[in-house]
């Protein structure tokens, strides 16, 4: 049996990932890193409350076999570019550093379609830069998932995303061939794909585009 540790477990993808892990026969220990308790009704989950504003919030954690990073925000939600970068770059990099130092086997990151460190779009540039940092860490497996627009019910209201979901619902059937990776994808499918890809005999760094997430 294996152990898993998840940061970003209360977000849209993270919540689905937690449910996928606890319903899997592969994992007997699932650790959720949270700002405040929220999984107390789940017997299989061990919650660890962290102060993410500390210099190194992950210091002192015990290792797990598989490490999942589902951290992600928007500039609007974070309040500024600086705070957005803290959530989407600084924390994932610190988490990967901890995981490498503790010899965790795999590191799985939720990034985004269009991630590109040379992009002039701040969001895409930040996602590309965090991918590069994760690639430079040494794990048996490094899995970087690049979902398109993520479907599912969020706790917060994102008007731009809501509009995008409506448009993608209409366009999804038309996205075939080279356009398949731009199809909107449900958070549940991303979570299942993150766990499913662990079973593949692929080592080193693997970038999984949106249309490949469910191919395991």
- 36 vs 49: CA distance, rounded Å: 6
What is the residue whose two structure tokens read 């460190």? 117
Beta carbons of 126 and 71 less than 8 angstroms apart? no
Residue-wise over 144-169: b if at least 16 C-beta within 10 A, else e? bbbbbbbbbeeeeeeeebeebeeebe
Distance in angstroms (rounded) separating the CA atoms of residues 147 and 64: 25
Which residue from 102, 77, 101, 73 is spatially nearest to 88, judged by alpha carbons?
Answer: 73
Cβ 184 vs Cβ 166: under 8 Å = no
In the residue annotation, 127 being an active-site residue is answered as yes
Q: Which of 127, 141, 182, 183 is catalytic?
A: 127
Tokens 């249309």 identify what position?
211
203 annotated active-site: no
Number of neighbouring beta carbons within 10 Å of residue 123: 17
**For 36, phi and psi rounded to 5 degrees?**
-150, 155
- From the list 123, 165, 180, 206, the catalytic residue is 123
Active-site residue set:
123, 127
């Amino acid at each position: 049996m294996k152990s898993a540790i998840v940061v970003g477990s209360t977000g849209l993808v993270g919540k689905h990932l937690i449910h996928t892990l606890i319903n899997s026969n592969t994992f007997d220990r699932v650790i959720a890193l949270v700002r405040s308790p929220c999984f107390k009704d789940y017997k299989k989950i061990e919650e660890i409350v962290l102060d993410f504003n500390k210099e190194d919030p992950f210091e002192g954690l015990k290792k797990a076999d598989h490490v999942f990073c589902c951290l992600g925000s928007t500039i609007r939600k974070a309040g500024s570019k600086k705070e957005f970068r803290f959530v989407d770059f600084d924390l994932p990099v610190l988490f990967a550093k901890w995981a490498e130092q503790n010899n965790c086997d795999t590191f799985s990151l939720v990034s985004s379609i269009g991630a590109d460190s040379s992009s002039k779009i701040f969001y895409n540039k930040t996602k590309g830069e965090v991918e590069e940092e994760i690639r430079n860490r040494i794990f048996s497996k490094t899995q970087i998932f690049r979902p398109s627009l993520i479907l599912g019910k969020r706790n917060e209201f994102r008007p731009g995303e809501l509009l995008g979901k409506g448009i993608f619902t209409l366009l999804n059937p038309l996205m075939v061939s080279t356009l398949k990776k731009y199809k909107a994808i449900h958070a549940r499918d991303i979570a299942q794909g993150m766990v499913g890809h662990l079973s593949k005999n692929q080592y080193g760094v693997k970038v999984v585009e949106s249309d490949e997430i469910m191919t395991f």
